[in-house]
Amino acid sequence: MGTVYFAFIGELDPYVVGDVCILFVDVAAGGAFDAGAYGLIERDPMCTFTARFGDRRGATVRVAAADLEAVTAPEALRELEDFEPARYYDLDGPVT
């Protein structure tokens, strides 16, 4: 899928996003995903993949498109994009 460039584990607006784990991945052109920055949001409080890959900036990671669901709530998207511009997806599967 792409290359890890940043990870965030913390709290954004508690009324809109709350506690969140986000793995940021930069995707190059030519793959199954459009090129650009992606924010992969883990809802698991353990932040398993964000913690594992967040310390490995530059690591190449893969995610199945079927394991991603676009964040569509307008308020949440505004809050997330103000924090870090990216395409945001809820992650419902493994990052390898």
Q: What is the pLDDT of residues 11-23, one digit of tens each?
A: 998 889 989 999 9
pLDDT band per the 50, 70, 90 thresholds, residue 45: confident
Q: Which tokens go with 7?
A: 């990870």
Q: How far is CA 91 from CA 8, 64, 85, 96, in A?
A: 14, 10, 17, 12
Q: Among the listed ranges 21-35, 62-76, 77-91, which one has the minimum average pLDDT value? A: 21-35
Does pLDDT of 48 surpass 80? yes
pLDDT band per the 50, 70, 90 thresholds, residue 86: very high
Q: Give the best-scoring range by mean pLDDT among 16-20, 33-37, 38-42, 52-56.
A: 38-42
Residue 52 near residue 42 (C-beta atoms within 8 A):
no
- For residues 60-78, average pLDDT: 95
